[in-house]
Every structure is written in structure tokens, then in C-alpha cells.
Amino acid sequence: MRVLIVEDEPLMAEGIRDGLRLEAIASDIAGDGHSALELLAVNSYDIAILDRDTPGPTGDDVARQIVASGTGLPILMLTAADRIDEKASGFELGADDYLTKPFDLQELVMRLRALNRRRAHHRPPVRELAGVTLDPFRREVYRDGRYVALTRKQFAVLEVLLAAEGGVVSAEELLERAWDENADPFTNAVRITVSALRKRLGEPWVIGTVPGAGYRIVDRPDEETSDDA
């Protein structure tokens, strides 16, 4: 298990990290909201432990970002805000669990393991096609066993294409499912993202362009691919 600790008190953060390490739980520390969002953008975590009162974007702001990302990352709020209305607002923001300070480290460990077990029962399936493997739970992509680093948008586009299982997906559908409702229907963002994604995955190209229709994952890349998005 790997967790992100968002806590602006260094001694407490390091104490939690060291205690979790003894329980075979790896962790990274973010001392403020900006650092937390940066770490979430580049690493895969099983759980986020959020203090609500942090510099920069608050823990509440980070929780909102996690929920909006759609990753399903569980949130445990670890905070001194112990009033019932504060707990209620925390759960309304998307917290999956809430533990107030001061706390017992062993209780934190038990809650983390319970959240991880709960999440394991709802993990989306790993998708595999044409040598491409996408794990939506860990947000990882491999091409013929080689790890491929993708941006969030590239990952979202690939996830839609793989879900189609070789079927054609129109640019309009990609725009609807991988962007948001405010996306400009006349933008060339889909073409640019698909082109960059194709290059990230490497040759032979695995994303085929179907003229006038859209894009598809090609089972045999040597037969039906194009480097023109």
C-alpha cells in the first residue's frame, strides 16, 4: 500500500510516515496543498491522508480535486476539526473516513487497511488489447511489457479507445468522454492528443485513424495504422 500524507506539521508528518513504514505501508509527505496536487499528478496512491488546514490549497481543496479527477482515490481526513458539523462537511466533500487528532497510530493503520480492502473489491478491470495494458486502478499503462508514462488526458483517451475493444470511436465521443462539458466542439485537442498518445505508445502504431469516422485500437498494427491523427 502507498499513501500520500498531506500534513503541514513536519514532526507529525514524519512520525506518521515512520510509523506506517513499520507496518509496511509506504508513504510520501506533502507539506502544503500545492505539493500535494503535484504529487497526485505524477504518482499513484492507494489512499490520501488529508489534514484539512494546510497552506496554499487547503486539505478541503485537495479533496475536491481528488473527487473531481474521478480516480476514486479514497480520502481519510486526519484533522483537529472534531465538531460534528465539521465531520459532516468533511464527508460531504468526499471523505471516505475521518479521524480526529490526537489519534492512535494503530487505529490509523487499521482504518487505512480497511479502506484499502474496500477499494480492492471495487477495482475496475485491467484492459488489454494489441499489446497495450491499461490498469485504471493504478493508473498505469504498458506496451508489450514496457511502462508508458502518459498525461491524464492521454490516459483518459486511451481508456475510452480500449473500452471500445477495437471499435471506432469518433472525435466527438472522445471529446465528450475525455474532456468536460465546456470543451469547444471545434477544437483540435482530440487530434493533437491522439497524435501525442500514438507517439508515446511507440511503433508500430497501435491507434488507427478511420477517415471520416474516428479512431480505433488496431489488433494487428502493421495492417491498419496511420501516423496522421
* Domains in the chain: ranges and CATH: 2-120 (3.40.50.2300), 127-217 (1.10.10.10)
Q: What is the pLDDT of residue 121?
A: 60
- Please report, for residues 101, 114, 214, the alpha-carbon distance to residue 183 in angstroms, rounded to integers and kept in the order given: 42, 38, 18
Q: What is the pLDDT of residue 72?
A: 84
- Please report, for residues 125, 156, 159, 206, 207, the alpha-carbon distance to residue 166 in angstroms, rounded to integers and kept in the order given: 17, 16, 12, 10, 10
Contact 105/16 with Cβ under 8 angstroms? yes
CA 92 vs. chain centroid, Å, equals 20
Ramachandran bin of 131, using left for φ above 0, alpha for ψ from -120 to 50, beta for the remaining angles: left
Q: What is the pLDDT of residue 35?
A: 94
DSSP state letter for 26 = E
Which ranges constitute the DSSP H helices of 126-187? 152-163, 171-178
Q: What is the pLDDT of residue 5?
A: 96
pLDDT digits (tens, 9 = 90+) for 33-81: 999 999 998 888 889 999 998 998 999 999 999 998 878 899 999 999 8
Residue pLDDT tens, the chain, 229 long: 889 999 999 999 999 999 998 888 889 999 999 999 999 988 888 899 999 989 989 999 999 999 988 788 999 999 998 899 999 999 999 999 999 999 999 999 999 999 988 876 666 678 899 999 998 877 789 999 999 999 888 988 999 999 898 999 999 888 877 875 456 666 788 999 999 999 999 999 999 999 999 999 997 655 545 555 6
Q: What is the rounded CA–CA span in Å between residue 30 and residue 39? A: 8
- For the packed helices 152-163 and 189-201, what is the interaxial angle rounded to 10 degrees? 80
Q: What is the pLDDT of residue 229?
A: 61
Helix, strand, or coil (residue 138): coil
Contacts 24+ apart (CB under 8 A), 204-213: 206/130, 206/131, 206/132, 206/143, 207/161, 210/168, 213/168, 213/170
Q: Which residues pair with 6 in a beta bridge?
A: 30, 50
Q: What is the pLDDT of residue 15?
A: 95
pTM, full prediction: 0.56
